[in-house]
Amino acid sequence: MTGLLLLVTGASWGVGAAIDLVVGTGRRWARSMPYLLGLVGSVSMAVAGVRAVLGATTTLELGSTLGVGETVVRIDPLAGLFLTLVAVLGVAVSGSLVGWVQPEGRVHGRGVGAGYLLLLGAVVVVVVAGDAFTFLFGWESLTVASFILTGARRGDARSARASWATLGVGVLGGAALLFGLLLMAAGAHSDLLSAWSRLGPGPVHTIASVLVIAGVGAKVGIVPLQVWLPLGYPSSPGPTRAAMAGISVNVGFYGLWRFFGILGRPPIWLAVVVLVLGGATALLGIAFASVQGSLNRVIAYSSVEHAGIIFVAYGVALAGAATQRTGVIAVGLLAGSLQVLAHAVAKSALFASSAFFESNFGSDDLERLRGVGVGHRASATSFAIASATLAGLPPTIGFVSEWFVLEALLQEFRLQVLAVRLAMALAGALVALTAGIASLCFVRLLGLTLLGRPGAWRPGRAPKARHRVDGEGLGSFGSLFMATCCLGLAAAAPWVIRYLSLGLAPIVAYHATIGSLKSPWVLQPVYSNFSILSPSWLFVVMPVGVAIVALASVVFSRGRLLRVRRVPAWRCASAGFDDRARYSAFGYANALRHVLSNVLGTRSETITVDEAAAEAPCVQVEVRSSVVEPVEAYLYRPTKRAWLWLSARARRLQSGRLDAYVGYMLVALVALLAVVVAMK
């Protein structure tokens, strides 16, 4: 049955890609057909994922299908867990794409549909791979798919830069992963992933662990490899950003979980590094997200933040494995899995809904996207719920997942190694600070973008929507389905925990993770009598409480609360300020620019815009502020300059004399012989 489902999925996505490449986007039916077939294949794969979690492991030996070694497809409960997540999101994102591509002109030429389906296929290949070559084949195919999608706008210089940055970081991460897998295959004398658990502690084990984490870090956006996300995500067309941020990135976390079970006990220093690096990534990501002027860059930097939080939870699991504490492993992996789930659903919803805002208004500038919720009821609803989820607010699944992460970090007192305890305490402080700034970030989006007054920023200059299309039909279904999941998963959190525990069973025993259920309705961080949370109860009580307060307010005000009162909007306590004095998205983030100026590298300058008349008490000035990303400014730019300098010097070798080339070859040969003799 599983083999048949895989065949249906592959056939659907293959036909969809062929239609996109052959027919193109000139015809209306051809524009939507690749994504309809993507939806069909995703449904089939979701069924296969659920079967794997609830049933036995399926192994298919396909011989030399890929031409190197034995190709093995293995779907165990862990693979089934991630297949369920990416396939269900594939259904929703495909639906959003069907609605988004309907107006003519949003997609030009060929390749977007094929790139999207290649991305889905590559994700599935990575998850079901049972051998090293199949895993790497899927991983590199995913890099190619990301390159295609980020470079879809071929005439845009920024898109070209983004696509090459995406490809460069992807190749770097793939190279690290390649060397790590080769080391494990050589040490175990097999290219089957299941055989690598025989590797014992030692240099090979440690180096392989570091390389795997580095390779995955490049894919998910861990500092200092996060620079491609703010470039690559905004350059992808429409809701395909949701596929990159909500589906593609999950293979990185799957790789962490899979190799955690294979490699076993890590060195303690590696757990410390992962904890600190994850906390720093989370804080850096949300700090830069909060001061961006572009909606898509805000969401992209938010992905960096959540990658950091997931890495922190993974670091807790590493700390538990290094100190051989099964309970700490269980709470770390469970918290990380919940955070992966919350981020994938909410980030997909956010990118899918924002795609309609940008396409209809022709801009993703926060200062121009004022009041976009007026004409986009479905997308606006999805955007608001997803924003609350990513901010970690109740009663969403984001609140549950971040609660679990913080509770996991509070278990540091159970470990005896001082370095690990200090690292968990530092990571906890960074995650807590990150959660506070995240609330500021998404309040800014909701209050000033979604709920703002249309055209309030600059009267008469607000762009008008080109198409009043809010993801009609399947498009509305896709975004609203993901928003419903943000709420429904929180309400059904006890059952979500059970499903995750089944999926994590190949790594950590089911009875360990299921210990997070104190009762059918109450959650705890694996350890009993520590703290409890009941999302299901909270999901019921909060709306009831709001309803009671609203009803009491109406009754005691004798109906005056419902009367419409029209008064001038409050702008400023000082006289003489017009509508331009209203808070803007830029102004709202100014406080953070100053408070975190050391992190953001804030630079400001004041410019006189309009000289006042002689009798006026003041002049009109404009304050321009910018931020500098430290990783790009102090790591990549100097590296780029050094590389260009070396390239210019090396260029001289291309126009030398023949006797010089012979001399170079002689020197190289002598050096090689010396190395060979020394090795013997």
The mean predicted confidence, pLDDT, of the chain is 83
Whether omega before 568 lies within 30 degrees of 0, making that bond cis, reads: no
Separation of alpha carbons 423 and 429, rounded Å: 10
Residue 129 β-bridge partners: 73
336 & 415 share domain: yes
604 & 646 share domain: no
Q: Could you count the other beta carbons within 10 Å of the beta carbon of residue 1?
A: 10
301 & 388 share domain: yes
How long is the chain?
680
Separation of alpha carbons 294 and 366, rounded Å: 6
The alpha carbon dihedral of 349, 355, 358, 361 has a sign of negative
- Strand pairing of 72-75 and 517-519? unpaired
428 & 493 share domain: yes
Instruction: Examine the fold and report which residue of 487, 509, 528 is the final residue of a domain before the chain moves on.
Output: 528
Q: Residue 111: inside a domain, yes or no?
A: no
Backbone angles phi, psi at 226, to 5 degrees: -90, -5
348 & 407 share domain: yes
Q: Residue 129: inside a domain, yes or no?
A: no
Q: Residue 372: inside a domain, yes or no?
A: yes
Q: Are 520 and 537 in contact (CB under 8 A)?
A: no
Q: How far is CA 118 from CA 1, 138, 356, 474, in A?
A: 23, 10, 23, 21
Interval 96-125 mean pLDDT: 85
Give pLDDT tens digits for 166-177: 888 889 999 999
Q: Write out the two tokens for 661.
A: 């080339």
Q: Residue 475: inside a domain, yes or no?
A: yes
Predicted local distance difference test score (pLDDT) of residue 573: 54
Whether omega before 395 lies within 30 degrees of 0, making that bond cis, reads: yes
Separation of alpha carbons 478 and 474, rounded Å: 6
Residue 197 has pLDDT above 80, yes or no: no
482 & 596 share domain: no
Q: Residue 381: inside a domain, yes or no?
A: yes
Backbone angles phi, psi at 292, to 5 degrees: -75, 150
513 & 376 share domain: yes
SS3 readout for 26-49: CCHHHHHHHHHHHHHHHHHHHHHH
What is the C-alpha R_g of the chain? 27
278 & 321 share domain: yes
Closest Cα partner for 300 from 232, 359, 243? 232
293 & 380 share domain: yes
Predicted local distance difference test score (pLDDT) of residue 550: 87
User: Residue 647's domain spans which residues?
Assistant: 630-679
Instruction: Examine the fold and report which residue of 528, 547, 563 is the final residue of a domain before the chain moves on.
Output: 528
Confidence of residue 254 (pLDDT cuts 50, 70, 90): very high
513 & 638 share domain: no
Q: Residue 507: inside a domain, yes or no?
A: yes
315 & 411 share domain: yes
pTM greater than 0.95: no
Q: Residue 105: inside a domain, yes or no?
A: no
Give the chain's domain count: 3
Q: Which residue has the tokens 């005056």?
A: 560
Interval 124-139 mean pLDDT: 90
Q: Residue 183: inside a domain, yes or no?
A: no
Separation of alpha carbons 447 and 436, rounded Å: 17
315 & 396 share domain: yes
Residue 369 has pLDDT above 60, yes or no: yes
Q: Are 346 and 383 in contact (CB under 8 A)?
A: no
Interval 578-594 mean pLDDT: 69
Residue 579 has pLDDT above 60, yes or no: no
Confidence of residue 185 (pLDDT cuts 50, 70, 90): confident
Instruction: Give 178: exposed, middle or buried? Use CB within 10 Å, 0-12, 13-18, 19+.
Output: middle
Predicted local distance difference test score (pLDDT) of residue 653: 65
Q: Are 287 and 305 in contact (CB under 8 A)?
A: no
